[in-house]
Amino acid sequence: MKGNVLVVDDEPIVLKSCERILGAEGYSVSVAADPLKALEMLEAATPEAKDGYDIVITDLKMPGMNGIDFMRKLREKDPTLSLVLITGYPSQESIRDALALGIVDYLPKPFSPAILTGVAERAIEFKRRRASHDASAGGGGHDEDEMAAKLDTIIQKYKGKPGSLIPVLQESQELVGYLPPAVQRHIARGLNVPVSEVHGVVSFYSFFTMKPKGRHNIRVCLGTACYVKRAEEILQKLKDRLHIDIGEVTKDRKFSLESVRCLGACGLAPVVVVDKDTHGSVNPVQALDILKKYEES
């Protein structure tokens, strides 16, 4: 048995298809047509007992109680539960509220069976890790405070200097690894500029990223010299092998993949840079050999 899933939706067709798809994958699937019924079912099953639920997949708009309020109640009851929100009416507000509740994913309808099974897999993994994390240590609040203090030091260094936003973002990205919305808000407050301006700059320049990077960051040069030497094939091979697209990170956070516009090392074309190591004259057929060195660590 892969895990216990509870699907909550007022549309019978959704319940049926989730049951069919996840059931075939080896999950034990229970369904509820409304949140109140679902709460009853959860009440009956204690988390410690064998029939405790691992994942709750819920709709947003339902009679009696909306999905967000429902999830809030679930969180109070069991913080380790993996939550997935599905909706036919995606909106900025619902995404924000759902993220604040620490959901595993947000799926706009319609979604494909592959997406659903993928999410379920991740949700189980999430639940497992959360449970072990809770057992091993307390919260990570100290790290956050420390990070905020370091960000403030960067901001103070540049505050009042004209044109300081880009250098501040560069240093902050170096510190945090990426620029999530919370960091952008922090910088906006610190430099006293609108968040929209900060986000405008972050989204404009390719150097800035809003997604975290893997332990090893792979950059494939797609400059002209590399392109005519089949860099595109190298990129494709890496994508296929790691199962990620450009700008994404692998599930185990080991690798992230980027493409760059000419590193100016055309004499070595085609070039792949992993972390700070430059691999030149890469043979597209043997491109995957590069990964070997990094796979152990």
- Mark the segment that binds another protein (CB under 8 A) among 5-13, 25-33, 99-107, 193-201: 193-201
222 near another protein (CB under 8 A): yes
Burial label for 183, CB within 10 Å (0-12, 13-18, 19+), is: buried
Instruction: State the number of binding residues for another protein (CB under 8 A).
Output: 40
| Sheet containing strand 55-59, strands side by side | 28-32, 4-8, 55-59, 82-87, 105-108
Do 85 and 98 meet the contact criterion of CB atoms below 8 Å apart? yes
Pick 141 or 267: Cβ nearer another protein: 267
Which two structure tokens, joined as six digits, stand for 35?
Answer: 């949140």
Distance CA 137, CA 197 (A): 38
Q: Of 51, 278, 289, 293, which lies in the binding site for another protein, with binding defined by CB under 8 A? A: 278
218 near another protein (CB under 8 A): no
Distance CA 228, CA 240 (A): 21
- Mark the segment that binds another protein (CB under 8 A) among 63-71, 83-91, 130-138, 199-207: 199-207
Pick 119 or 169: Cβ nearer another protein: 169
CB of 61 to another protein, least distance (A): 35
CB of 267 to another protein, least distance (A): 3
Residues 272/274/278/283 CA torsion (nearest 10 deg): -40
**3-state SS record for 164-184:** CHHHHHHHHHHHHCCCCHHHH
Name residue 221's beta-bridge partners.
260
Pick 12 or 167: Cβ nearer another protein: 167
In the region spanning residues 143 to 182, those forming contacts with another protein, defined by CB under 8 A, are 162-167, 169-170
Pick 41 or 225: Cβ nearer another protein: 225
Distance CA 17, CA 21 (A): 6
**If you compute the radius of gyration of the chain from its CA atoms, what whole number of angstroms results?**
23
- Mark the segment that binds another protein (CB under 8 A) among 32-40, 95-103, 133-141, 194-202: 194-202
- Mark the segment that binds another protein (CB under 8 A) among 35-43, 48-56, 61-69, 220-228: 220-228
188 near another protein (CB under 8 A): no
CB of 159 to another protein, least distance (A): 12
What letter represents residue 48's amino acid? E
Query: How far, CA to CA in Å, does 77 sit from each of 8, 29, 42, 46?
Result: 17, 20, 9, 10
207 near another protein (CB under 8 A): yes
50 near another protein (CB under 8 A): no
Residues that bind another protein (CB under 8 A): 162-167, 169-170, 197, 200-201, 204-208, 222-225, 227-230, 233, 260-269, 271, 278, 280, 284-285
